[in-house]
Amino acid sequence: MSYPKTGNEVYISFSLSNTMLSGIGKGTITREEVSVDYLKELFNKYGVIVSAKPEQRKLLEKVNEVYDLNLDIPDNLKIIHLSEKNRRVVVISVQGLKRVNGSLLPQYSEEEFQEATFSFVKYYVQSRHYDDLVAENAKLKRELDAEVAWRTRECDI
């Protein structure tokens, strides 16, 4: 199974870094844990670009094996930058594996891989800042309240 090339692909990675966000400017990022079924639908709609180091190949293979995501396994790390076109990044969270200074190790034994569990978190970038959205929402609520008050007023005749 191959995912489409849309120009609006979803990135997937084992980490999230500030460099991924460098081209965004002022905006709002939402975060949500997502299911594998949701990811399959998302990838089928938008496509997917995998950003992983070559030493994470076995981790990607394990994710593909366990969840049937059919992710391409790149030979080289693809540096990703979120943008207006590519607004989504899914971070594969790995639990149960040893780390050094918070980073995954380059290699694990088969026994260690058997202990690994995975979850998925989607980050979505909006070009509008949260404060601007809140202010707009408050303005719209005031206008709606004024309209409702006008339409439901009682007139003395």
For 6-36, how does the pLDDT look when each residue is reduced to its tens digit (9 = 90+)? 988 999 999 888 778 776 667 778 899 999 9
pLDDT of residue 128: 64
Q: Which residues of the chain are under the pLDDT cut of 70?
A: 1, 23-25, 127-130, 156-157
pLDDT of residue 45: 95
pLDDT of residue 151: 85
pLDDT of residue 69: 94
Strands 99-100 and 28-34, by their bridges, are: unpaired
- HSE-CB for 128 with a 13 A CA cutoff: 8
The encoded tokens of residue 78 equal 């693809």
The single residue listed with the structure tokens 């995501």 is 69
pLDDT of residue 105: 76
pLDDT of residue 1: 52
Chain-centre distance for alpha carbon 35: 12
Distance separating alpha carbons of residues 126 and 131, to the nearest angstrom:
12
pLDDT of residue 86: 77
Among left, alpha and beta (phi > 0; psi -120 to 50; other), residue 98 is beta
Q: Which of 14, 6, 98 is nearest to 50 (CA)?
A: 14
